[in-house]
A = this chain, B = another copy of it.
């Protein structure tokens, strides 16, 4: 299937990842490609959220996906089969995060000239990916209801560096002691500007509000200079 390719990304040779990320962000802006960096714990529902997101946005935007994983390719196949968009599997060879240069290697393979929205599904990990700027236009994280509402207290950095927080699996709220008011309070204490979208990637609830925000952000990215 030519919609799905696997590439092994090599650790960056750049000492200054922040400067390299800024350079990548600028070149993406010139090409009018919006890069979304999606982070979360393993099992929070990144892949199923992406499937809904692509189905909602693909009539308006040309989308490409980069699935980062330590060494499997199950997510990339799921995305390619369910959405038909071009999908690249990035193997990090054991690395717990992506940096800007690894992201660039994926984007080169994806071919940004024909892509409006490139989505990077980062390695499942709340700690390390938050420490490395990938060059993304916006950073978004998913927290799922079963993980608990105390996560902004315990993993502060990722809530600080993100522009939006998706709270997934709201369909199982009745079965967990998850306090939605508290998670919003804790998250906003870390980052007062954080947009918060409660969704269920199972039922589709809340997907539209999240996609409306993302569509608007892509539009703004392409208009401003």
A residues whose Cβ falls under 8 Å from a Cβ of B: 41-43, 69-72, 74-75, 94, 96, 123-128, 131, 144-148, 150-151, 153-157, 169, 171-172, 175-176
Contact = CB atoms under 8 A, between A and B. Distances in A.
A139 to B, nearest CB: 17
B151 A43 contact: yes
Contacts of A146: 43, 144-147, 169, 172
Nearest to A177: B202
B70 A124 contact: no
A67 to B, nearest CB: 10
B96 A128 contact: yes
A77 to B, nearest CB: 11
> Looking at A43, A74, A154, which has the most chain B CB atoms within 10 Å of its CB?
A43
Contacts of A125: 96, 125-128
Contacts of A131: 94
B155 A42 contact: yes
Contacts of A169: 146
Nearest to A148: B43
